[in-house]
Every structure is written in C-alpha cells, then in structure tokens.
C-alpha cells in the first residue's frame, strides 16, 4: 500500500455546549489538519504516472476547505439563541454552522467526508486542536 500526506491549518473559535469545563466557553485554536491518501497501486496516466495522487490537487482541496473554516466562529446548529446569531451576524462576524458538536473528532470526520466526496482515496484525517492533542478519523 502506498500513502501520501499533506497538511494545512486554520484558526477559528468554537465552544462545546453542555460541556462542563473550560471548553464550554468561547475559545479559539490553531487547528492543524493532516490528510493521508492511500493506493494499492500508483496511477498510470501520463500526467500522474507513479503517483498516489498529485500533491497539488489534494493540497489545493485541503487548503480550500481550511480557508472556509479560517477566522470564523464554528458552532453547532441549535447551540446558540437565534437572537445571538442575529447579533453576531449584524456585527459582521463570520459564522459557520455545522450539524455536529465542533470537536476535533467531528471535524476530522467532516473533513474526511468532504474530501472523500471530491474523489480522494483517503486513508485517514488527523485534526490537531493543540500541538499535543490530535483526533483521527479513518474508515475501518
């Protein structure tokens, strides 16, 4: 099996509704994302011969996704009062609503799924919430 990896990063804020501890409060991270692709054999077309995938393609896709999450407030649908969302929007804050609790684990699966729908043969996605704390998603 062949594997390649590329990384990107983004800065964003989040909070965990219902969590008992510091993470229930609004805070931010420098999220680092590593996407691993796999292939049993290398490509044979002239352009990509000898590659799992063109690094430029997966790097661009991961960067685009991270850019969408960069410098925003990621929050779980229904976790904020409607008037809070309206007030933040009126202040021109960039909000990204997701249908899951925005943990590193759920972000890893989300990124895995988005890149997978784009046709990349993913092995796993790692999301680092801090330099020492990482969550991984891979289909088993």
Give residue 140's pLDDT band: very low, low, confident or very high (50, 70, 90): confident
Summarised one tens digit per residue, pLDDT across range 69-100 is 999 999 999 999 999 999 999 999 999 999 99
The average pLDDT across 5-23 equals 97
Give residue 24's pLDDT band: very low, low, confident or very high (50, 70, 90): very high
Summarised one tens digit per residue, pLDDT across range 117-137 is 999 999 999 999 999 999 999
Summarised one tens digit per residue, pLDDT across range 43-67 is 999 999 999 999 999 999 999 999 9
Q: What is the set of domains in the chain, with CATH numbers?
A: 2-137 (3.30.479.10)
For residues 71 and 28, give the distance between their C-alpha atoms in angstroms, rounded to a whole number.
Answer: 9
Half-sphere exposure of 75 (CA within 13 A, CB side): 21
For residues 24 and 15, give the distance between their C-alpha atoms in angstroms, rounded to a whole number.
Answer: 5
Do the beta carbons of residue 137 and residue 106 sit within 8 Å?
A: no
Task: Return the residue matching tokens 């919430």.
Answer: 129
Give the pLDDT confidence score for residue 54 in this predicted structure: 96
Buried-state track 42-75, b at ≥16 Cβ within 10 A, e below 16: eeeeeeeeebbbeeebbeebbbebbeebbebbbb
Give the pLDDT confidence score for residue 139 in this predicted structure: 86
């Amino acid at each position: 099996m062949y594997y390649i990896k590329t990384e990107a990063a983004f800065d964003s804020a989040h909070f965990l509704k219902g969590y008992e501890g510091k993470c229930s409060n609004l805070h931010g991270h420098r999220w680092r994302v590593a996407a691993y692709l796999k292939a049993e054999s290398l490509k044979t077309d002239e352009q990509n011969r000898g590659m799992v995938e063109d690094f430029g393609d997966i790097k661009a896709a991961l960067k685009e996704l991270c850019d969408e999450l960069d410098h925003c407030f990621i929050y779980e649908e229904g976790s904020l009062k409607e008037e809070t969302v309206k007030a933040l929007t009126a202040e021109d804050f960039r909000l990204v609503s997701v249908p899951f609790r925005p943990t590193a684990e759920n972000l890893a699966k989300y990124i895995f799924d988005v890149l997978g729908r784009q046709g990349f043969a993913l092995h796993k996605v790692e999301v680092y919430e801090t330099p020492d704390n990482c969550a991984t998603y891979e289909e088993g």
